[in-house]
Amino acid sequence: MRLITFGDSNTYGQSLPDCHWPAPHLLGPSKFAWPQLLADKLGMECHNAGIPGSSNKLIMHQLMSFPLLPTDTVVVLWSYPERYCHLTNLVTDYKDWKTIKHKAIGAWVKTVSSRNYYKHVYKDLDQQIMSNHYISYTNLYLEQQGIANYHTSVVDSTHPLIFNIDYLRLRHEYPRALDGEHIGLEAHDELTKLIYERITL
């Protein structure tokens, strides 16, 4: 039995003790992040497919490219709706997250295309609607394969499939990770408990 998790750096475990800068993508995913902790509690093999900086578009694409099995349990920690990406390859042989070729579009990405996207294309409501579509389509895809799936988010969401983890509370109530930005060890422990309780209802 496998636990397969998708998300951004909050799933990957960026800046936890074993996955800190300057190159966390060469070190992780972290064994201290919630996916491994949750898999241990459930007695499952863990495959943490989180991608730092991921957009919800990229999460959906990665999940649908992943070689899932009917016996898998999938948990998605959806990212920030304002993130976007350009996909640059079709995936026919998924090996790990580096298989997914893309160009990130985000506030931290200092490129002309990123600046132009937020200046000329991006609208808050539009991206919230699209994120809801990504969640719904992903759930439909997994349900058709009979794969158990659970969905939460780093932002508050009214989508009926999302169970609330109050991410902002986790981020502000507990000590941060080593970079001072990402959630730290105690928050990952708490997040593990919340998702475990949801799965084992």
121-158 confidence digits (pLDDT tens): 999 999 999 999 999 999 999 999 999 999 999 999 99
Instruction: Name residue, tokens 């780093």.
Output: 154
Please state, in angstroms and rounded to a whole number, the distance separating the CA atoms of residues 25 and 19: 8
Please state, in angstroms and rounded to a whole number, the distance separating the CA atoms of residues 80 and 19: 21
- The mean pLDDT of 169-177, rounded to a whole number, is 96
Q: How many CB atoms lie within 10 A of CB 1?
A: 11
Confidence (pLDDT) at 27? 73
Confidence (pLDDT) at 28? 74
Is it the case that residue 174 has pLDDT exceeding 70?
yes
CB of 34 closer than 8 Å to CB of 191: yes
Please state, in angstroms and rounded to a whole number, the distance separating the CA atoms of residues 14 and 20: 6
Confidence (pLDDT) at 85? 93
Domain architecture of the chain: domains with CATH:
2-199 (3.40.50.1110)
The pLDDT-based confidence of 12 (bands split at 50, 70, 90) is: very high
Q: How many CB atoms lie within 10 A of CB 110?
A: 8
49-100 confidence digits (pLDDT tens): 999 999 999 999 999 999 999 999 999 999 999 999 999 888 777 767 677 7
Confidence (pLDDT) at 155? 96
Is it the case that residue 26 has pLDDT exceeding 80?
no
Residue 151 is classified by DSSP as E
Is it the case that residue 18 has pLDDT exceeding 70?
yes
Q: Compute CA distances 104 → 20, 39, 108, 117, 126, whole Å.
A: 20, 29, 10, 11, 18
Is it the case that residue 25 has pLDDT exceeding 70?
no
100-120 confidence digits (pLDDT tens): 788 889 888 899 989 999 999
Confidence (pLDDT) at 24? 59
**In sequence order, what DSSP letters do the residues of 154-166 get, joined into one string?**
SS----TTBPP--
CB of 75 closer than 8 Å to CB of 30: no
Residues 6+ apart with CB under 8 A from 36: 29, 30, 46, 48
CB of 62 closer than 8 Å to CB of 74: no
Structure tokens belonging to residue 131: 């994120």
Confidence (pLDDT) at 21? 73
For residue 1, the SS3 value is coil
Confidence (pLDDT) at 91? 78
Q: How many CB atoms lie within 10 A of CB 198?
A: 15
Q: Which residues pair with 95 in a beta bridge?
A: none
Is it the case that residue 189 has pLDDT exceeding 90?
yes
